[in-house]
Amino acid sequence: MFSETDKILPLAESRSRLAWIDCARWIAMFLVIACHACDPFNCSPESTSNPEFLRWGAFWGSMLRPSVPIFVMLTGALLLPVRESSLGGFYKKRIPRVLFPFLIWSVVYTLFPWFSGLISASPEAAKELVLTFFPYAGFMNGGNGPTTTLPAALETLATVPFSFNYFTVHMWYVYMLIGLYLYLPIFSAWVEKVSMKTKWAFLGIWAGTLLIPYADVFLTPHLPFGSGYLFGTCSWNAFGTFYAFAGFNGYLLLGHVLAQAAPAISLKKALVIGLPLLVVGTLLTYLGFFWVRLMGSLDSPAVFDALANGGHLAALLADAARALAGTSPEQISATAKMFQAEPMVELFWTYCSLNVVLSSAALFLLISKIKITSGRFSGFLSTLGKLGFGIYLVHYFFVGPSYVLAVKIGVPLELQIPVSAAFAFAATYLAVRALYAILPRPKIFLG
């Protein structure tokens, strides 16, 4: 998210050669906001009872999965190999820029329910206001929704050093990003010394780990000790055979490798490689997630039948769901409940899964072929290097209200996600620009 463009090409290279990095930032940021614009479709009460919510939530959500991976790949492209000579120097430069704004905005988000209680006419009105901004808050207190008192807010706030909460859902990324920053200088020493062939070998092993989420769900129940005991993992060992190769560190290296390789890849070759991979990855993600939604709807025949009538592919997936569900009401109910719960709901949306990597790598490669000459538009694109982290931190305040606006002005349901994302993106951009203009030391608040 930050301006580190000199790490990819020599400083003598023209700014226009690096415009694709700014394009990638903007595209990834819009995808992130659009991804969160799916929340009313995928985590509201209506998302489990309205088949059209399920259908379009699955469609748009599956197309948006490259959002976070592109940001991580950009981090690898921009920061590998690490230029700072000391571990402390790197940490001092990077982590405070992320940590302090993260803490400030975590406090703001977490105190918002209490503030809603102060300005609302009743507790019910306050709760409704909170749910407008934060759809996940409906799951709090056993599904009864948020509490808008100061003690409740302070209790939630005390957990911020350890975990994100229902009001700071998007902050999971910052915890992960700080972890990557801690790891980067160590990883960089290896990246700097080895050949490109060795880097691809690492990525090959990493690709194998991307199948583990599926193996954990579909294979481990048939193993002697049952679910969770895969490749040596067990109750006394969470670190299996491929643990050292797994996770977002693979995206760091993938971004570094693709950024190095991109200049030698022609536009024609990028299209030949990238477009099929993008289609295949996105299609696998969509079909997998839609199938999970079908399985989770087995105990709601009206919803299931409506989803099954969505076309030939939907009918095929529905037939597969019926075949796996069993015949007795007890079996059907148990199967539906399993697919309504974590980790099944997010299984095909897992960022570190093969299908998401295919679409993310393909989109990253295609974006790298964007050519923009220097000028006003190039300068506008480069502003995200300054505003990007602030936009990420602030945008979640605008997602819920933007969805309400899209519904109120009559946007068709199938377009509500991209339209509300556009509203939220524009509002967040303007808000962050304003904050940079009026705050005395904006970097402390916005990175």
CA angle centred on 333, ends 332 and 338, rounded to 5°: 100
What six digits make up the tokens of 176?
């992960």
Dihedral angle of Cα 18, 19, 22, 24, to the nearest 10 degrees? -90
**pLDDT over 50 (residue 6):** no
Report the pLDDT value the prediction gives residue 393, as an integer from 0 to 100: 95
Report the pLDDT value the prediction gives residue 45, as an integer from 0 to 100: 66
Phi, psi at 234, each rounded to 5°: -165, -175
Task: For residues 200 and 197, give the distance between their C-alpha atoms in angstroms, rounded to a whole number.
Answer: 5
Q: How confident is the model at residue 13 (pLDDT cuts 50, 70, 90)?
A: very low
* Tens-place pLDDT, residues 324-354: 887 788 888 888 888 888 778 889 999 999 9
* Tens-place pLDDT, residues 143-175: 788 999 999 999 999 999 999 999 999 999 999
**pLDDT over 80 (residue 12):** no
Question: Which of the two residues, 423 and 230, has the higher pLDDT score?
Answer: 423
Task: For residues 208 and 217, give the distance between their C-alpha atoms in angstroms, rounded to a whole number.
Answer: 16
Report the pLDDT value the prediction gives residue 11, as an integer from 0 to 100: 32
**pLDDT over 80 (residue 7):** no
Q: How confident is the model at residue 227 (pLDDT cuts 50, 70, 90)?
A: low
Q: How confident is the model at residue 217 (pLDDT cuts 50, 70, 90)?
A: confident
Task: For residues 286 and 37, give the distance between their C-alpha atoms in angstroms, rounded to a whole number.
Answer: 17
**pLDDT over 70 (residue 374):** no
Report the pLDDT value the prediction gives residue 46, as an integer from 0 to 100: 67
Residue 34 makes CB contacts below 8 A (sequence gap 6+) with 60, 64, 67, 417, 418, 421
Q: How confident is the model at residue 5 (pLDDT cuts 50, 70, 90)?
A: very low
Report the pLDDT value the prediction gives residue 15, as an integer from 0 to 100: 44
Helix ranges (H only) for 219-311 are 249-261, 267-296, 301-308
* Tens-place pLDDT, residues 33-79: 999 999 888 776 666 678 888 889 999 999 999 999 999 999 999 99
Looking at residues 120-135, what average pLDDT do you find?
90
DSSP 326-371: -SSHHHHHHHHHHHHSTTTTTGGG-TTSHHHHHHHHHHHHHHTT--
DSSP 48-89: GT-HHHHHHHHHHHHHTTTHHHHHHHHHHHHHSSP--SSHHH
Q: Where are the beta strands (DSSP E) in 113-238?
A: none
Does the global pTM surpass 0.95?
Answer: no
**pLDDT over 60 (residue 19):** yes
Task: For residues 171 and 10, give the distance between their C-alpha atoms in angstroms, rounded to a whole number.
Answer: 34
**pLDDT over 70 (residue 20):** yes
Q: What does the domain layout of the chain look like in residue ranges?
A: 5-288+354-446
Contact yes or no for 2/96 (Cβ under 8 A): no
Q: How confident is the model at residue 14 (pLDDT cuts 50, 70, 90)?
A: very low
Most confident of 88-102, 213-227, 308-322: 88-102
Range of weakest confidence among 113-117, 315-319, 374-378, 415-419? 374-378
Phi, psi at 219, each rounded to 5°: -100, -45
What six digits make up the tokens of 282?
């996105």
Nearest Cα neighbor of 19 from 370, 386, 389 is: 370
Report the pLDDT value the prediction gives residue 28, as an integer from 0 to 100: 94
- What's at 281, amino acid-wise? G
Task: For residues 340 and 188, give the distance between their C-alpha atoms in angstroms, rounded to a whole number.
Answer: 40
Report the pLDDT value the prediction gives residue 359, as an integer from 0 to 100: 97
